[in-house]
Structure 1
């Protein structure tokens, strides 16, 4: 097996390490070894091995063979979501009874009935943004990533917590005291701590201290302590974000005990009781509120922005989308200055737009660095023996752009998603010689649908994103409504498509460091 040695985080501290991992996968193959600080890491994008990582039939949680790498990496996320460093549904181990309680307890908040009820909030928020963009005018560029996150914030606010943040009153006004900037800075700090576990202790920089005119006191050299400004600013951002989510928790609790029919995420969390009848602690509630807040705004907003950017670079794709919107009665034009009202049932009819969104999520994976598990004991993966404490890392950007799995992997081609089972990989008996691949090939000899996913933007298995149904409704409806009213053009300040990619910053999630600036050009309503 190919290998690569990196010391103390090495290249993973680069802003776009998700793309670096993709390049290394192309050079070294779909499985290779590296070091991440003190951890031994096996990078896997081999479709014969990836399913084994998520196969709970092979490695159930109670067997304690594979689990989330909490102690090695994910514990750093807790610093963002709780003042006490309490774990949450994202960072807790699968065997944690409270993880199981929360996962099962909030799942009903995302059932089809509740998602359908939340659709009106998506339309309302998207229409608010449309009005703001009209008033702003085409000449003035807008950070569409920030704008899309504001839409998502309004949706998760109402669906999740029964609250409007009034974030779309003006794009020039701070959204909840610039919560997105605080969140971005916090996630960036967390990603750096993951790469460098010692970073949290780097409060003093002796070199910087020496530069500030040290002086002799007797025979002792006195060096002025110098706190790293970057770490200091990050800690301020962390406190700011946690204050927002703590205030949200206190506001919701001040309403009193939620009704048993309260469909919000908050209502489900506050009604939870463990086996001894105890509610979640304040610290655990704070952690869960925070992670739901992050999951409901950050990833959805980035997905919308990435999709609008990629569509703007492909006029042929936009033409097909506008034709679809026209056929459904949504496209603004001379014969239809006011489009018809979008309904929930329309989402399933947006076939080509949905394909364009999926393709943007493939090419620009918001969680591009991927997901990981840790081998708690020595285990067998196909023909390979995996040593104890090895991190098994599936880099999603690499998996979703692998030349071995995709035709024209670097080309934006929504049409690929119009094919049946496009997100799965089918093993070929003639080319597969590993034990795992051979077994997979035999499994599908009878024509059963392939089940090896090569596309997994929401993760896979029992740890897949619990709120993905809300996210899909949100970004599909919002993107459709925005494109019904506007055509988007990349602002010159972005430096073209190359500048967009160069400005990517991996802060757990991936987005442009200083936003995605675009012009919203209104569709013509005059003949």
Structure 2
């Protein structure tokens, strides 16, 4: 019984982290293709620290500060879950001047916080640079309540470490190894679909081409 419980917990962590990771990476690629100057800047950072003769490695992540800013900005604009998991008050309390009776179930509107104009300048604009300047000290670990894509406190998403590390490495590998282009001359549709996770309403379809030498992909010339 004890072993089964641990297996269920591990399965929940893995599934939750992989689902939200996929959603966030889809948004990130769509944003980058819609903002080619940002994409080129991220690729230049990769060339500076990685070069073109090898693949990106986990040890490179600390140097890729612009890439980290892109991921933070993506999660701000399109948090994988617009609402937090429900929290229930165990006793009567007052929060922000509002009386909250015992047994009240509360959902935090993460999407609203991430788009609050009192917190974020131009909240609907994709500007990764904000996390290198005015919002440089903000991270996604639940310590800064203006950016809580994984939640906060004791109920923070248990897959946060796996998800954030995976997103960095996967996105870095994708934009380092490939060029992406929208097959249409129009901007990619960024409409969100309703659901437990904030997925794109339409599939992301891109033209992909290699940007490195064949041997980097393990292909013999």
Task: Provide the alpha-carbon RMSD of the alignment.
Answer: 2.5
Cα pair 1:330 1:484 within 8 Å, conserved: no
CA distance in 1, matches of 2:121, 2:85: 24
Cα offset, 1:509, TM superposition: 1.2
Cα pair 2:14 2:159 within 8 Å, conserved: no
Unaligned stretches of 5+ in structure 2? 214-221
CA distance in 2, matches of 1:465, 1:519: 34
Q: 1:519 aligns with which of 189, 192, 207?
A: 207
Cα offset, 1:289, TM superposition: 4.5
452 and 470 in structure 1: CA distance in 2 versus 1, 3 angstrom threshold = closer
Is 1:329 aligned with 2:45?
A: no
| Match runs of 1:127-526 below 5 Å | 279-280=2-3, 282=4, 284=5, 287-331=8-52, 339-419=53-133, 420-423=136-139, 452-492=144-184, 496-497=187-188, 499-501=189-191, 504-513=192-201, 515-523=203-211
Where in structure 1 do 4 or more consecutive aligned residues deviate above 3 Å? 284-287
TM-score (norm: length of structure 2): 0.83
Cα pair 2:138 2:144 within 8 Å, conserved: no
Unaligned stretches of 5+ in structure 1? 1-277, 332-338, 425-450
| Corresponding residue for residue 47 of structure 1 | none
Cα pair 1:309 1:490 within 8 Å, conserved: no
Cα offset, 1:315, TM superposition: 1.6
Cα offset, 1:286, TM superposition: 5.9
- State the aligned residue count: 209
CA distance in 1, matches of 2:33, 2:42: 12
TM-score (norm: length of structure 1): 0.37
What SS does the aligned partner of 1:453 have?
coil
CA distance in 2, matches of 1:285, 1:465: 17
Cα offset, 1:513, TM superposition: 4.5
CA distance in 1, matches of 2:119, 2:139: 10
Cα offset, 1:452, TM superposition: 4.5
Cα pair 1:365 1:396 within 8 Å, conserved: yes
CA distance in 1, matches of 2:194, 2:182: 21
291 and 521 in structure 1: CA distance in 2 versus 1, 3 angstrom threshold = same
